[in-house]
Amino acid sequence: MYQNQHFFHIPVMGTGHSIDSPARVAHLGINSVVSIVDDLLCEKIRKYYSEHFNLPFKGIPRTAEDGRARRITAFLDTMQSVVNKKFEELKSQPMFSDSLKDRYFNLLPDTNPLKVMYDEIRTLSDASNRESLIEKLTSKMTPGSIDVNIMTKVDALSKGKDGNPQSAEYSDASAALRGYANSSVSSSLILSAGFNPRLYGYLSEFRDFYRDVNGRIKKSLILKVSDFRSALIQGKFLAKKGLEIAEFRIESGLNCGGHAFASDGQLMPVLLREFREKKAQLAETFQPLIKSYYEQMGWEYKAEADITPKITVQGGIGTSGEMKRLLNDFEMDGTGWGSPFLLVPEATCVDSETMTLLAESAEKDLYLSNVSPLGVPFNNIHNSGSDRHTKALIEKGKPGSKCPKGYLVTNTEFTEDPLCTASAEYQLLKINHIISTVEDSGIQQNEIDKVLDKTCLCTNLGTGSLIRLGILKPEYGRQEVCPGPNIAWFNREYTLQEMVDHIYGKTKSLVDENRPHMFAKELTMYVDYINQRMVLAWGDAKQIRQLEKMRKNVDSGIDYCLEIANSKPYKNENLTSLKKTALKQRERLNQIFEEKLEVA
């Protein structure tokens, strides 16, 4: 396993925006995460990089036996080959000559032991001693990790050539897992978007997820979780199968990119405090179960004394001061910076039109949308290529997608075989049903609009990367992008060095000092979310009770936000905004519920 040389990683962003990030930044020591949900996109990216790096390429047809898993394996092996080639070339370059090798060290945080050693060697005048130390330092360099994300609930089960459903190991998530497990990469698998017992059980069939005779794990597990309870439950389930969690990755429920999984009002600082206070409980709970499994299997269990999982956090981080609070006060082991990197061409695969749209976006342009076929709120931006394409189809009277990939087929409302709610077939059936069953014209149109909102994420989230690489022409359009609200405060294209220096506070902040604190933004989003839910909950006693619980949790979180706001701020941390926002949103929250009670 490669260690993370940095205090940040680049999380998965859509299916395409971080699809080749390892090829862009891993040789410089930066960890990044790719999505493998779209194996057909992976195949196109593999072909592109094979041609550019003179690697052998033989296409794997869509009809090939176990094709999904094989395409993913081949893609990851190609990424590994590209990273190895670039990293070895970088290591061979001279040091202190403004080379890529120097850039590797200059990107590191000043406290990193490799950066400290690099700076010390620079001051030496003894040539022989200098060369010896340069050789020693070079041997300590490690590339960034090619980490992989699987959305556990995106797990459609397709039919075989005979028209019958295939067995469970050929489901989309299981095939993706097998593709990763069979690859040559030594990295981390991030499991996100929920608990899938069948998939978690399948992990135990691959030896790379367990410790070898030397106590090393080739492929480690990271779980993206919403709270401590979820971490404990999922971690115990896996520990009973001898599987260790290397890291729990906490993401803001709303202040993030992509799909937004709102909590029951537990704000980020409250969640982080609980993880900080109970972190030791994780290893104490898991390790006996893991040891017991190894004993049952007759394996020797060699592990370091402390196997406490790392805890990292992502979602809305925008300044070096915010990151320092997360690392120092909440004792996080690392952070994820996603949306800002959409404006760093050296790190992500975004087409120029979409990058301009993101750079020019303001807070009003970013919204929590209804476009996802999964029925989960989706962070979005107005006037994207996908937005325009979807509206154009509606205007032509031909709404919906042809559903060429079928990764998000989940709905069986009208058919025995599941359909995607963004497909033309489903939308026609649903709209006809609404017309025949809803008499009120206003309600009818509102329901139809909800149906037409859905977008083909399978295709459109990967389109921008294909345009960027020249595989598709810009005229094809349809680019979907899923930035978090944080992108509104980053307003141009940045170099990798600029963004990393901003993250570590090495230079003047790239964002305006009035940018609201990440905790303030999340708090506002939760009150907005409650307000929207209250409107829809009219007359539904069960939903009102759920919202009352959410209100109580948010109100308790406001107390903690005010406590943080009264502490000493770090440089580039706008705690003033946190105090103002907390007081304002508490008043607003009370007003929302008072008005609801008055109407009731």
If you average pLDDT over residues 234-254, what whole number do you get? Answer: 96
- Domain residue spans in the chain? 1-144, 351-480, 516-600
Per-residue confidence (pLDDT) for residue 538, from 0 to 100: 74
DSSP assignment string, 274-285? HHHHHHHHHHHH
Say what the pTM is: 0.95
The burial class, CB within 10 Å (0-12 / 13-18 / 19+), for 397 is exposed
As a three-state string, the secondary structure of 167-196 is: CHHHCHHHHHHHHHHCCCCCCEEEEECCCC
Q: How confident is the model at residue 158 (pLDDT cuts 50, 70, 90)?
A: confident
If you average pLDDT over residues 502-509, what whole number do you get? Answer: 97
If you average pLDDT over residues 188-208, what whole number do you get? Answer: 94
Q: Answer yes or no: is pLDDT of 424 > 80.
A: yes
Q: How confident is the model at residue 184 (pLDDT cuts 50, 70, 90)?
A: very high
Per-residue confidence (pLDDT) for residue 168, from 0 to 100: 85
- The alpha-helical segments, DSSP class H, found in 37-183 are 39-52, 67-91, 100-107, 113-122, 127-139, 172-181
Neighbours of 283 (CB within 10 A): 18
**Residues 180, 149: Cα–Cα separation, whole Å:** 10
pLDDT in tens, 86-128: 999 999 999 999 999 999 999 999 999 999 999 999 999 887 8
Q: Say if residues 180 and 149 touch (Cβ distance below 8 Å).
A: no
Average pLDDT, the chain: 94
Q: How confident is the model at residue 1 (pLDDT cuts 50, 70, 90)?
A: very low
Length of the chain: 600
pLDDT in tens, 18-70: 999 999 999 999 999 999 999 999 999 999 999 999 999 999 999 999 999 99
